[in-house]
Chain A
Amino acid sequence: MSERILLVDDEKDFVETLAERMRSRDMTVSTATSAAGALDLIEEKSFDAIVLDLQMPGMDGLEALEMIKAKNPNLQVILLTGQATVEKGIQAMKLGAMDLLEKPADIDTLTEKIKKASAKKMVLVNEETEKKIKEIMGGKGW
C-alpha cells in the first residue's frame, strides 16, 4: 500500500529533498511550506500521515497540530523539530501528536514512523466505520 503523506516545513530545500526520497520509497507525497498551506491541502486531499515542522513562520507546528486534530482526529501527525525540548514534546503529545523526531532525522526511522502512523489511522477509521454500522443497524433493529 502506498502511504499518502503530507510534508510541511518552511525550509523549501528540506521539504523537496525529503519528498523525493519518500517518493522513491513508494509513498505518495504532497508538500507545503507553511501551516496555512498545509491546512488548505488537508481540505483538498486525504492523507494517512503528516510530517510537520514544529517551528514555522506565522502559525507554528503546535497551532497547526491543534487545528489538524480538531478537523480530522484520525489523521496522524509526526512532528519534526530542530529544538526538541521536553516541554514542547509534552505539549505536542497532549495535543495528539503521534511522535516527535529531532532534525536531522534518520530516513529509516521516519519511514517506519510514517508506516505506523498510516496503520494507526487505518485502525481508527475502521473502528469508526464499524461503530457507525452498528449504530445504523441498531437503529433499524437488526
Chain B
Amino acid sequence: MADHWQTLGEEGIQFMGKMSASISHELKNVLAIINENAGLLNDFCRMSERGMDIDPERLAKVSDNITRQVQRADAILKNMNLFAHSTDTPLTVVDLHATLAMVIKLATRFAANRVIQLKLVPASEPLTITTRPFLLENLIWRCLDMSMNVAGVEKTITLSVIAGKDQAVIRFQGLGSQLEERSTIFPSPQDTDLLTILQSTLTIDSAVGELTLTLPQATSN
C-alpha cells in the first residue's frame, strides 16, 4: 500500500500542476484583456489632449469590459481556492455535485481546446459522501480526461450525479466508439490505485458510450 500512496502522491502533484498551469493561463488571458482596455482608456486620454471628443458610450463599453473580466477572474480564483483547500482534510464530507461542478470548471479550458462541451445535469438535492476530496477530484479528472479523449460525434460530455443505496454514482455520457479500444488502457494502474483507495468501482459501457463511477457513501480510513 505504501507504493500506492507514493504513486498517488506523484500523480496528485502532477494533477495539481496541470490545473494550476491551466488556471494561470486563464488569468493571463483575463489580464491581457484588462491590459488592452486600460491601454485603450490611455489612448482616449491622448486623443482628448489633442482636442478629439471622446464618446461617453465608448468609455462605458470599456468600463463594462473591465468589470466583466474582473468578475471572470474572481470566479476563476474562487474555484482555484476551493480546489487548493481540498487538500486541507484527507478524509471529510463533500457535496458530490459541488465537487463535480468544480472539476468541470477546472477542465473547461482542456475541453475548449478539444472543442468539447461539458454539461452538468443540475442536482435536485445535495448528495454528500465521506471521502478523500483531493483524490476524488483527481479520479473525476482522470475519468473526464478519458471521456474527452473518446467523445462522440456530438462532442458533448454530460455529467450527472445519482444517489444509490449506500452509494453515489457519477455518470459520464456522450462517449464515442473509441471507448472500446481505450478500455484496454483505461483504467491505468494509477487509475486503479485511486479506485482502490477510494473504495470505488468504474464501469465502462461501450455500447451506450458511458463511464460510471460508483463511490461508497463513506470511504473508511
Residues of A participating in the B interface, judged by any CB pair closer than 8 Å: 10-11, 13-14, 17-18, 20-21, 24, 55-58, 60, 80, 82-83, 102-105, 107
Contacts and interface: CB of A to CB of B under 8 A. Distances in A.
B112 to A, nearest CB: 5
10 contacts: A14-B29, A17-B40, A18-B36, A21-B39, A21-B43, A56-B113, A57-B112, A57-B114, A104-B28, A104-B34
Interface string B17-57: 00001001110110111111101100100010000000000
Interface residues of B, number: 25
**Which of A10, A11, A80, A104 has the most CB atoms of chain B within a 10 A radius of its CB?**
A104
Interface of B: 21, 24-26, 28-29, 31-37, 39-40, 43, 47, 62, 65, 68-69, 112-115
Contact of A17 (B21, B26, B37, B114): B37
Contacts of A102: 28
B153 to A, nearest CB: 16
Contact of B115 (A13, A21, A57): A57
Nearest to B21: A83
A14 B43 contact: no
10 smallest A-B Cβ distances: which pairs? A82-B28, A104-B35, A103-B32, A17-B36, A104-B32, A82-B25, A57-B112, A14-B33, A13-B33, A104-B31
Nearest to B69: A13
Nearest to B36: A17
The secondary-structure label for the interface of chain B is helix
Contacts of B28: 82-83, 102-104
Given A13-B69, A17-B37, A17-B65, A105 B112 contact: no
Contacts of B62: 17
Contacts of B29: 11, 14, 82, 103
A55 B65 contact: no
Contacts of B25: 55, 82-83
Given A17-B62, A83-B21, A104-B31, 11 more contacts: A11-B33, A13-B68, A14-B36, A17-B39, A18-B36, A21-B43, A24-B43, A57-B114, A104-B28, A105-B32, A107-B36
Contacts of A104: 28, 31-32, 34-36
Contacts of A107: 36, 39
Nearest to A60: B113
Contacts of A17: 33, 36-37, 39-40, 62, 65
A21 B36 contact: yes
A57 B113 contact: yes
